[in-house]
């Protein structure tokens, strides 16, 4: 397994990095300066943890999926799942996004001791993501709301391991759930592995941190309170009011590494949560594993979450969107490999060939 120098050349220099944070904070060679990862000095360790956990180094995602979700019915569009639900919180949580589902799931995790520590991302200035470990339910609120700028959340895994956390819950983007699974897959058997329950988020893209400067220039002197993408474009709420930004303008700040992502719904998580596009104030929940099912049921039984059946047409729309993202990014990936980027997936494997076919079918 290659090490730091390979990570630098294969991932940092070629800009495919997704800023999941998995390689950060274990060793002193890799650092982030805002959202850029830097190999500060040359590392010569032959086998690096950094390379083995990175979601942008060569991975057989099918094998990983088979290992962690062996019994779950497979699905090419949105990954293996048992069931999809339309969900919202019965009681609002301060600062929640959409239906407030994630916050309530996390609350359930802590109350029912499904994990003693949760990895969340909060923000002090309502823009810059700040990952942190939560040990008591009162702190969950700090992480409420969506983070649009990419958060290197997984850097906190090291802290959890050093604190000897036995069961950790992680709320993360698809790339972060991927890295988590790679960590488990490649982990040495010497240390007792930390048990992880993963709540994956839906993600079309994340923004680079230069978006902060853009906001500072567009709305000088205003304090950002909240950001969101309700149906009608990108909305920034500041202390002076609501501002509508054209989505195309915002998309200029998408992190380059996001163009190589093939996972819109966190297909490897125990349970995935995203927006429910058709109706404001609701979430989409995809249950993928027994752990995920257990968690979801508890949250519903406790009355924290209200759930309804998921409309068929909405499910098709969701699947279509996911295939759309996969297909677009498969093209970006091909272009990157043609330019000399070290391949991090096998484009010829069955999974991706099928995706391409489905995408073509959709267009017709």
Partner 1 sequence: MEWMITADEPGKTYLMQGNEAVARGALEAGIRFAAAYPGSPSSEILTMLGHVADKMEMYAEWSTNETCALEACLGASFARVRSLCVMKQNGLLVVGDALHSASLSGVKGGLVMIVADDPSAHSSTNEFDSRHQAKSAALPMLEPANIQEAKDMVKWGYELSEQLQQLVMVRTVTRINHGRSTVTLGQMLAEKPNPVTIGEWDRMVAINWFKDAQIAKLDQAQEIFEESPFNWYKGPEAPEIIIITCGTGWLYSSEAVEALGLNEKVGILKIGTTYPLPEKFIVKHLLNTNKVLVVEEVDPFLEQNIAGIIAYHPELNIELLGRCGQKTLPRNGELNPDIVRNILASLTGKVFTGPEVAVIPPEEATPLPARELTFCAGCPHRASFFLLKQTLRIHEGQGVVMGDIGCYTMGGQRAGHYLYNFLCCMGGGINAAEGMGQLTRFGFKQPVLALAGDSTFFHSCIPGLVNAKYHDSNMLFVVLDNSATAMTGFQPHPGIGLTAMGKAAEPISIQKVAEAIGCQVTVADPFDISGTTEIVYKLLKQPGLKVLILKQECATLAVRKRKKPRVWVDQDLCRGDECGCGRFCSRIWGCPGNIWDYEAGRAKIDEVVCVGCGVCASLCPAGAIKIEGGGADE
Contact code string over 50-89 relative to partner 1, x by CB under 8 A = x---------------------------------------
Of positions 2, 23, 24, 49, contacts partner 1 by CB under 8 A: 49
Helices in the chain by DSSP H: which ranges? Answer: 4-7, 49-53, 61-68, 101-111, 156-162, 174-186, 211-218, 247-251, 290-301, 312-339, 350-363
Q: With H, G, I as helix, E, B as strand and everything else as coil, classify residue 215.
A: helix
- Give the nearest distance from C-beta 346 to partner 1 in angstroms: 26
216 binds partner 1 (CB under 8 A): no
Closer to partner 1 by CB, 162 or 242: give it.
162
Q: Residue 29 or residue 61: which is nearer to partner 1 going by CB?
A: 29
- Binding of partner 1 at residue 179 (CB under 8 A)? no
Least distance CB 187 / partner 1 (angstroms): 13
Residues 6+ away with beta carbon under 8 Å from 176: 20, 21, 22, 153, 154, 170
Run of H or E including 167: strand 167-172
CB atoms within 10 A of CB 318: 23
1 or 247: whose CB is closer to partner 1? 1
Q: How far apart are CA 167 and CA 194, in angstroms?
A: 6
> Of the two residues 38 and 362, which places its CB atom closer to partner 1 in the complex?
38
Q: What is the DSSP letter of 138?
A: G
Shortest Å, Cβ 7 to partner 1: 11
- The interface with partner 1 within residues 156-175 (CB under 8 A) comprises none
Q: Is residue 363 close enough to count as binding partner 1 by CB under 8 A?
A: no
What distance in Å separates the CA atoms of residue 236 and residue 218, rounded to the nearest whole number? 11
- Rounded Cα–Cα distance for residues 146 and 50 (Å): 27
Q: Scanning residues 195 to 214, which ones bind partner 1 (CB under 8 A)? A: none
Taking the complex as a whole, the smallest distance from the CB of residue 148 to partner 1 amounts, in Å, to 21
Per-residue string for binding with partner 1, 9-48, x by CB under 8 A? -----------------xxxx-x-xx-x-xxxx-xxx-xx
- Closest approach of Cβ 157 to partner 1, in Å? 13
| Binding flag, residue 220, partner 1 (CB under 8 A) | no
Of 4 and 80, which CB lies nearer to partner 1 in the complex structure?
4
Q: How far is the CB of 25 from partner 1 (least distance, A)?
A: 8
**Burial degree of 244 (CB within 10 A; 0-12, 13-18, 19+):** exposed
Sign of CA dihedral 231, 236, 242, 245: negative
Q: Is the dihedral of CA 124, 151, 276, 251 positive or negative?
A: positive
Write out the residues near partner 1 by the rule CB under 8 A.
3-4, 26-29, 31, 33-34, 36, 38-41, 43-45, 47-50
């Amino acid at each position: 397994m290659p090490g730091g120098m390979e990570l630098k050349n294969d991932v940092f220099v070629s800009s495919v990095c997704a800023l999941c944070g998995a390689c950060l904070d274990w060793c002193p060679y890799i650092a982030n300066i805002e959202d850029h990862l830097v190999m500060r000095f040359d590392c010569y360790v032959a086998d690096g943890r950094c390379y083995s956990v990175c979601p942008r180094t060569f991975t057989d995602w099918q094998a990983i999926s088979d290992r962690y979700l062996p019994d779950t019915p497979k699905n090419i569009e949105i990954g293996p799942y048992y069931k999809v639900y339309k969900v919202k919180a019965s009681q609002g949580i301060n600062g929640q996004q959409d239906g407030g589902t994630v916050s309530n799931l996390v609350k359930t995790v802590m109350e029912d001791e499904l994990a003693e520590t949760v990895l969340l991302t909060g923000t002090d200035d309502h823009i810059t993501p700040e990952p942190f470990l939560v040990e008591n339910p009162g702190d969950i609120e700090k992480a409420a709301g969506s983070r649009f700028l990419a958060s290197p959340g997984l850097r906190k895994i090291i802290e959890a391991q050093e604190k000897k956390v036995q069961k950790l819950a992680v709320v993360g983007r698809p790339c972060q759930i991927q890295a988590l699974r790679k960590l488990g897959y490649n982990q040495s058997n010497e240390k007792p592995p930390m048990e992880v329950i993963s709540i994956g988020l839906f993600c079309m893209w994340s923004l680079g941190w230069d978006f902060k400067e853009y906001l500072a220039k567009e709305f000088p002197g205003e304090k950002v309170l909240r950001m969101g993408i309700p149906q009608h474009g990108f909305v920034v709420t500041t202390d002076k009011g609501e501002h509508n930004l054209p989505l195309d303008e915002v998309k200029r700040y998408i992190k380059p590494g996001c163009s190589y992502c093939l996972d819109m719904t966190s297909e490897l998580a125990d349970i995935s949560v995203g927006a429910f596009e058709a109706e404001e104030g609701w979430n989409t929940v995809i249950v993928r594993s027994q752990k995920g099912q257990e968690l979801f049921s508890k949250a519903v039984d406790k009355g924290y979450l209200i759930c309804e059946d998921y409309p068929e047409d909405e499910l098709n729309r969701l699947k279509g969107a996911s295939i759309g993202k996969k297909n677009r990014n498969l093209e970006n990936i091909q272009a990157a490999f043609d330019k000399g980027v070290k391949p991090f997936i096998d484009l010829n494997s069955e999974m991706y060939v099928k995706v391409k076919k489905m995408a073509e079918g959709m267009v017709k």
